[in-house]
Amino acid sequence: MADLDFRHGAVSPPIVTSFDADGGVDRRALANHVETLVDAGLDGVVPCGTTGEFASLTDTERRAVVETVVEAADGRVPVIAGAADTTVSGVVDRLRFAADVGADAGLVTLPYYHNSTAPAGQRAFFDAVADDAPLPIYLYDIPSTVGEPIDSDVLAAVATHDSVVGLKDTSGDISAVDTAVDRTPDEFTVFQGVDALLYPCASLGVDGGIHALAQVIPEVFVSLGEAIRDGDDARALALHREAITPIFDRCADHGFAPVAKVAAVSRGFIPNARVRPPLTLPDEATREAIAADVDAALDAM
């Protein structure tokens, strides 16, 4: 297992799930992709996240993805396995499997589909998961898909639990990020989850990010992390504006998994860009534009 002591400016990608010609999980392509990202100098990998299309995978496939990623990472970087589910027992079962195959931590959302009786319901859910968690867990605040943000009072309270070690904030609300950093212990890790907000949030004290685009332009994110650590604001701002934001805007228009897969294919990182319904791929002209954005991002280095 790897060390979870992430450095300032750390970046880990929520990796795409490659599918083969028969529509199944392509474990070889997935392992090769992990190898590429580890070699590029990224700080961790996150299987079965939103960009990994976890909601379109069967339980057996989710387990295969986590197991493959752990084996490919081989203890060189931490593996934070997505463990989202609508029930406490479902989350804990996913965490137990992740622990059994050697993952270093889990990523846990609020239940989706039905909202909680917030904030009491949120607190009850997270406390129940944390009490039985066999791994350290990162909370995942993504209100656009679960229907509500994590309440700031709930976050502050749950952050003191021994099993809860950090947060991925994908709320898109910079003030919420500021509150999260301010109201959690110093050793609590706060990751920005919106690619285009990593640099703007660096001054607020975030520890780094979990970003889909890091798997297609890893060199850019490694350089951005270095610039943040070195206090090189001019360099960081240039990478933010010239390299990351244009591709991020494509993701906003066409979805993170489709754009990340098209971009990864353009780099030769994965063999194809297949996605599962209800996701669809952009048209050919847009795919060419995404590839051009990737080339421009690398030229901006």
Question: Both tokens of residue 282?
Answer: 């952009």
Distances (CA, A) of 291 to 118, 146, 232, 236, 300: 43, 31, 28, 22, 14
Q: In the block, which residue shows the tokens 């379109």?
A: 56
Please indicate whether residue 168 is annotated as part of the active site. Answer: yes
The catalytic position among 113, 138, 168, 261 is 168
Residue 112 known to be catalytic: no
Instruction: Pick the catalytic residue from 138, 140, 199, 261.
Output: 140
Token pair 């390299």: residue = 243
Closest CA to 42 of 238, 191, 223: 223
| Residue indicated by tokens 């910079």 | 174
Residues 6+ apart with CB under 8 A from 115: 147, 148
Nearest partner of 138 among 193, 60, 205, judged by Cα: 193
Report the catalytic residues.
Answer: 140, 168
